[in-house]
Structure 1
Amino acid sequence: MSTIAINQRLVAPVKIKLLHQDAVIPRYARAFDAGFDLVAVEDVLIPPGQTAKIPTGLAFALPDGYELQVRPRSGISAKTKLRISNAPGTVDAGYRGEVCVLMDNTRMPSGEIGDTCLDVSEKTVKVDREVDSHTYLIRKGDRIAQGVLALVPLAQFEVVDELDETERGAGGFGSSGVQ
């Protein structure tokens, strides 16, 4: 499978399989976007302090040498306390199962139990069960993440006795300061 350039952009053919009747075929919202939308195919409640697996109803056949990165939507990250657990998540070219999004509700429990929680816009919504008020509801049809197709070169490892010197050297976490 080879890539081609269209209007100076690299295009790689990606086959998708719809696994759910409500699955949404991914699309780019704007011409120069790097990511395409991944959409929830069912309602999912995420209690405070918990992680949920949100199904997209999609399986992908990625070209060899590529990965699908699952990344947060900036609007959700900016407006809510929802975070993608393993961002960016990697879907390998050999995987053919359903792509799901692991999402954390980083809020602490409020202790207020009732029939309302929050949606991805931070609006209060009514639900059909008792939940902590800091629970989030992901609704079927919500755009929950974005997918980015990325080239992945294979590493060819070589064991050596010494590594070349650099200005940074072995300086790790915080070695360059914070200001």
Structure 2
Amino acid sequence: MCNPALIIVGIIGAAMAASKGKAQEKQLETQAEIARNNATAVRTEGALKQSDTRRRIQIAMGRQLAAYGAAGLSSISGTPTDALAGSQARGAEDLFNINLAHERQAYNFDAQAANLQGQANAAFRMAMMEWAASFATSAIGGMAGGAGGAAGASQMNAGTYGNYNFVPQTSTNPYGGYTPSASTR
């Protein structure tokens, strides 16, 4: 006969393990989502910073052109052209560095999100394995306990000890109704 108490305890334990694993999975998924949002925010910030830098480069080059025109210098060739080309090159380098820095940051957040998502998946799988193990252990234990109890009951009904056979009898024997009888097996 199965022991329903052990099975119920196993089911409760399994449910608690699954619930704990599901909560841990949800927490890690939330952290992964935050990391993905941070990556998006960093990329957006980088794009805005690049746009602002482009605008400042254009303003600086416009001022240079205005200063050259006011001085009567041609901006088509010579020193003014070299100066404008240098300003444009420094601006392009600034844009590259801004992009590189923000992309590195975003990549780190993306990697963090991927790692957290992997941990979340592993936490859920581990919870399911704990659930299955707990359930199986309680079910087997409940059935084995019941079978063991049945086997124990049959052993209590009859048995031998040394040269004595114990046979169940209905009597007023103070030792539980078993009367030893001598045997020469």
TM > 0.5: no
The structure with more helix, counted as a fraction of residues: 2
TM-score range, shorter chain: under 0.3
TM-score by structure 2 length?
A: 0.20
Richer in strand (by share): 1
Q: Please give the TM-score of this superposition, normalised by the length of structure 1.
A: 0.21
> Between Structure 1 and Structure 2, whose CA radius of gyration is higher?
2
- Greater RCO, 1 or 2 (C-alpha within 8 Å, sep 6+): 2
